[in-house]
Amino acid sequence: MNEIIHFFLEPYHEASWINIILEFTAAALGVASVLYARKENILVFPTGIISTGIYVYLLAQWNLYGDLIINIYYTLMSIYGWYQWSKVVDDNDSHIPITRSTTKDKIKAFAIFAFTSVFVIAVYRHFNVMPNNLGFKESVEYAIAKLTSGKLSDFRQATPFLDTFTTGVFFAAMWLMANKKIENWILWIAGNIVSIPLYFVKGYGFTGIQYIIFLILAVYGYKEWKIMLNQNKLKVKVN
């Protein structure tokens, strides 16, 4: 038990109090943002903007480039989503409803994922965060070997490869959420599952706990949006 507590608290021994407070605040606001998203409440965006804004500042200090890019994108996409959710789409003052992704939406989401992943790989290789002397096949073999060695030090060396995946997934998920596509929750669930061990291994315990909460909320968010989606369908049939 003491080893677990030490693993959780050790990275904060040298951290400043202001950074600890900022990380806790950003994590709390991030959770609040997801709670609002579950309820299809537009406050998801202002709370999210403040949270990601704080994370941009913190991640710049931690040199976590992939996560930094994610949070800059979140901030911009939250502004877009705020506009999308607040605009009136018909004469009854209705807003955009929850819908399923069309084939076109899925292609766009995959394109966002692919482009983002390639971009992050290019950034990581440029700064040598990810080995830049390996080809594609060698990079895959390197990542698998490090992730499956059973050594914490090796796992840490492979985290940039997982960062690439989570960055792409979260970019696509945020775009789907901004357009009220129910599939956004599926991508959040996948990304959160990968992110939880990543943040604990990196030494950011508050954020790791945040992503555990995110995962639970994403599961419930999907269920609640599915109920609201079915209710919208019934309303359409009645009308």
Q: Can you give the pTM of this predicted structure?
A: 0.86
- Taking only the tens place, the pLDDT of each residue in 145-175 is 998 998 888 888 889 899 899 989 999 999 9
pLDDT surpassing 90 at residue 177: yes
pLDDT surpassing 90 at residue 106: yes
pLDDT surpassing 90 at residue 136: no
Q: How many other C-beta atoms are found inside a 10 Å radius of the C-beta of residue 107?
A: 11
pLDDT surpassing 80 at residue 109: yes
**DSSP 8-state class, residue 182:** T
pLDDT recorded at residue 191: 96
Mean pLDDT of 215-236: 89
> Are 186 and 88 in contact, with CB atoms under 8 Å apart?
no
